[in-house]
Amino acid sequence: MRKTWSFLILLLFISTTILAQPQLEWEQSLGGTSADVAKCIQQTSDGDYIVAGYSNSFNGDVVGNHGLYDCWIAGLDESGDLSWQNSLGGSNTDKAEFIKQTYDKGYIIAGNTQSNDGDVSGHHGDYDFWAVKLDSTGTMDWQKCLGGTEWDYAYACEQTIDSGYIMAGHTFSNDGDVSGNHGSYDYWVVKMNADGDIEWQNCLGGGSSDEAYSIQQTSDDGFIVAGYSMSDDGVVSGNNGMADYWVVKLDAAGDLQWQKCLGGTSYDEAASVRQTSDEGYIVTGFSSSEDGDVSDNYGYDDYWVVKLNNSGEITWQQNYGGSDEDYGRCIRQTTDGGYVMTGRSRSNDGDVTGNHGNYDYWVVKLNSSGSLSWQDSFGGSAHDWGHSVRQTSGEGYIVAGESQSADGDITDSWAYKDYWIAKLSPTTTDISFSKNRGAKGYTITSSPNPFYSQTDIVFTLPQSGAVELTVYDINGRSVKTLTKQKYQSGQHKLNWNTRNDAGHKVTRGIYFYQLRVNGQIKAVQKGILIK
């Protein structure tokens, strides 16, 4: 370990970390005069943003509503201005909960529908999972209704490594596409092929309510799922009382590998889970317990963050909040190895400062050990609920949710409830890259950056030499040598396709491309893998 860190110190000039609160760079209210709720935001490969949620507006920014609520998808440019929008649905209620850009630069949506007209066909009854594939312009490629005759509700989706899709939520059905329900609501996980046809499905739970809110494909091609369980039978064991965080690990075929109930004797509900760069997992949601696995509680409900190892055992856990209600909704690992999360808070004490009144977006940054780096409250005097947060390519943050405010941080409002998007500035200076003073003319660039599964790395040599181009992870470990041979002067391009690196553990995170020429480091570039 000493050699690893010595290598990094020699390789990079590390700048001082500033634990200051972020600044609001820009904010944008989107919608019409009725209710508009943003549930998920992502930065796209071109640096713009895609937002998904639902709207029952028929005016303002919203065009083409089919009746009641529609899935409303909005494309924003890098400054937050609306580039395009699309209302998707039928004459009944249709809601989008999650969106993810796909390998072809289109989008996959985890939605829900009670319609069977307009854009929707194949409805089974009550709510169905509604899987919608859009192209890069927001036009529908295909749609699928998945479920049975009872209530089926999806919350999360991803494109899988085989170009198919995984979707998770909960089901009360035990017919149609659904089989194996254990009673009441079960986690329902559905694997689809590239055309949206079901390859397999699995009901997970017990005799009480079990609802999944988050899913991600893991580095072993399996899946991690999180939500809550009130069961202690079926495939659920170890419940601590009332509702627990329930974290489930599946293999690539959807079979259960392990499950963990986390919490105390009161109500604990997980909302978001992600695999971390050390192949463990980070989970957030909220907890009203202060016993069992939960070591502390500030009052009412707190953000409760749990770090698990690869086997699902707790590495550390921590409560964040104040004496009022604090609900965590979304967590993501950041390029420095820490975490950013958002949700809503009505506190203005304890860990929480700056509340504008009622609920605010509460954005929290943790270091890799779970210690609080910074926090800030964003919103106005009415209800403002953060649902989604992502780190951006410029090391800032983008947050999306819903706002009923027309004051404070919100400079414009359509009426009642809007999509509210907040862009936050970086709070730490980035790692500065050594160009090995005197190594004039040696450069590395990469594109796209961030990237999903592959990136082109271009290096320039002012004169010929023996080149070694190596990829290192954030801990200084060698991941892959892309080339080791002699090159002539000029510009050269290599492709790094992480899906072809079966012998390497290539997970989401930050990587460094190091250019050595004739044994000397000449240039270093950073790449961010967000697959």
Number of neighbours of residue 256 by Cβ within 10 angstroms: 12
Pick the CATH number of 432-529 from 3.40.50.300, 1.10.580.10, 2.60.40.1930, 3.30.70.890: 2.60.40.1930
The 10s digit of each residue's pLDDT in 383-434 is 999 999 999 988 899 999 999 999 999 999 988 999 999 999 987 433 333 3
What length does the chain have?
531
Q: What is the pLDDT of residue 419?
A: 98
151 φ, ψ to 5°? -80, 120
Residues of the chain scoring pLDDT < 50: 1-19, 428-438, 502
Asked if residues 402 and 378 have their Cβ atoms less than 8 Å apart, the reply is no
What is the C-alpha to C-alpha distance for residues 102 and 105, in angstroms, rounded to an integer? 5
Structure tokens at 71: 């899935």
Edge-to-edge strands, sheet with 281-287: 268-275, 281-287, 302-308, 314-320
Q: What is the pLDDT of residue 439?
A: 56
**Of the candidates 479, 486, 463, which has an alpha carbon nearest to the alpha carbon of residue 514?**
479
List of residues 6+ apart from 458 with CB closer than 8 A: 444, 445, 446, 447, 491, 492, 493, 494
Global pTM value? 0.79
What is the C-alpha to C-alpha distance for residues 96 and 167, in angstroms, rounded to an integer? 13
Q: What is the pLDDT of residue 501?
A: 65
Asked if residues 67 and 91 have their Cβ atoms less than 8 Å apart, the reply is yes
Q: What is the pLDDT of residue 451?
A: 87
Q: Is the peptide bond before 448 cis (omega within 30 degrees of 0)?
A: yes
Looking at residue 152, its amino acid is D
Q: What is the pLDDT of residue 16?
A: 31
What is the C-alpha to C-alpha distance for residues 295 and 291, in angstroms, rounded to an integer? 6
Q: What is the pLDDT of residue 277?
A: 93
The rounded Cα 506 to chain-centroid distance in angstroms is: 18
What is the C-alpha to C-alpha distance for residues 269 and 328, in angstroms, rounded to an integer? 9
List of residues 6+ apart from 291 with CB closer than 8 A: 264, 265
* 3-state percent helix, strand, coil for the chain, nearest multiple of 5: 0, 50, 45
Asked if residues 492 and 461 have their Cβ atoms less than 8 Å apart, the reply is yes
Whose tokens are 């660039």? That residue is: 445
Q: What is the pLDDT of residue 18?
A: 33
In the chain, what is the straight-line distance between the N-terminal and C-terminal CA atoms, in Å? 28
Pick the CATH number of 17-217+225-424 from 3.90.850.10, 3.20.20.60, 2.120.10.30, 3.20.190.10: 2.120.10.30
User: Where along the chain do its domains lie?
Assistant: 17-217+225-424, 432-529
**Of the candidates 274, 313, 320, 273, which has an alpha carbon nearest to the alpha carbon of residue 293?**
313
